[in-house]
């Protein structure tokens, strides 16, 4: 008997509205969709997940005191090049990066995880340029 290996022939597009949804709940839903864990033939070594479009990124909710206590850091590599900003500042400046950072932390690290990064499209507003792909709406609870 031969081993069944699923093919990655179908590519579905899904639209998620991030308005008034907690960041962690949204990120776990998106990460599992991108990995393909919602499919009955999920295989960890094959990328067979959906493309996910996230709308209204500026309206995502951080619960508790995370707006002021959560800190995003980056380092340029130079002396004194450590930059920090709170979640409140990051949401005001670039809300897309906040969702991307949360989702990318839940994806696998390595070559396969980097390939999965291209399946996430995040937009601050309610308009996206992917109408030709005929995406389906996905409700977040």
Report yes or no on 30 lying in a domain: yes
Residue 28, in any domain of the structure: yes
What does each C-alpha distance from 106 to 9, 34, 76, 82, 114 come to in angstroms? 24, 10, 24, 24, 12
The pTM for the full model equals 0.91
Residues 6+ apart with CB under 8 A from 45: 112
pLDDT at 31: 97
C-alpha–C-alpha distance, residues 18 and 110, integer Å: 27
What single DSSP character describes residue 22? Answer: B
8-49: pLDDT as tens digits: 777 899 999 999 999 999 999 999 999 999 999 898 988 999
Residue 88 near residue 68 (C-beta atoms within 8 A): yes
In a domain, 99, yes or no: yes
What's the confidence (pLDDT) of residue 9?
Answer: 74
Residue span of the structural domain in which 56 resides: 13-61+94-138
Q: What is the CATH number of the domain that holds 52?
A: 3.90.1180.10
102 in a structural domain: yes
In this prediction, residue 11 carries a pLDDT of 83
Residue 132 lies inside a defined structural domain of this protein? yes
Q: Is residue 49 part of a domain?
A: yes
Query: Does residue 130 form part of some domain?
Result: yes
Q: Is 89 exposed, middle or buried (CB count within 10 Å of its CB: 0-12, 13-18, 19+)?
A: middle
Q: Tens digit of pLDDT for each residue in 67-122?
A: 999 999 999 999 999 999 999 999 999 999 999 999 999 999 999 999 999 999 99
40 part of a folded domain: yes
Looking at residue 93, what is its pLDDT? 96
Q: Which DSSP string corresponds to 57-108? A: GGG-B--TTHHHH-EEEEE-SSTT-EEEEEHHHHHHH-HHHHHHHHHHTTSP
Q: Number of folded domains in the chain?
A: 1
């Amino acid at each position: 008997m031969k081993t069944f290996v699923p093919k990655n022939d179908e590519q579905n597009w899904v639209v998620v509205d991030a308005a008034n949804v907690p960041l962690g709940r949204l990120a776990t839903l998106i990460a599992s969709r991108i990995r393909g864990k919602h499919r009955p033939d999920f295989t960890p070594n094959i990328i067979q997940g959906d493309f996910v479009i996230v709308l209204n990124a500026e309206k995502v909710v951080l619960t508790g005191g995370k707006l002021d206590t959560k800190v995003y850091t980056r380092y340029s590599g130079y002396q004194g090049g450590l930059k920090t900003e709170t979640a409140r500042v990051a949401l005001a400046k670039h809300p897309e990066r906040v969702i991307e950072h949360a989702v990318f932390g839940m994806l696998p690290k390595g070559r396969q995880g980097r390939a999965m990064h291209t399946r996430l499209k995040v937009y601050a507003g309610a308009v996206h340029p992917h109408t030709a792909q005929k995406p389906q709406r996905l409700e977040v609870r």
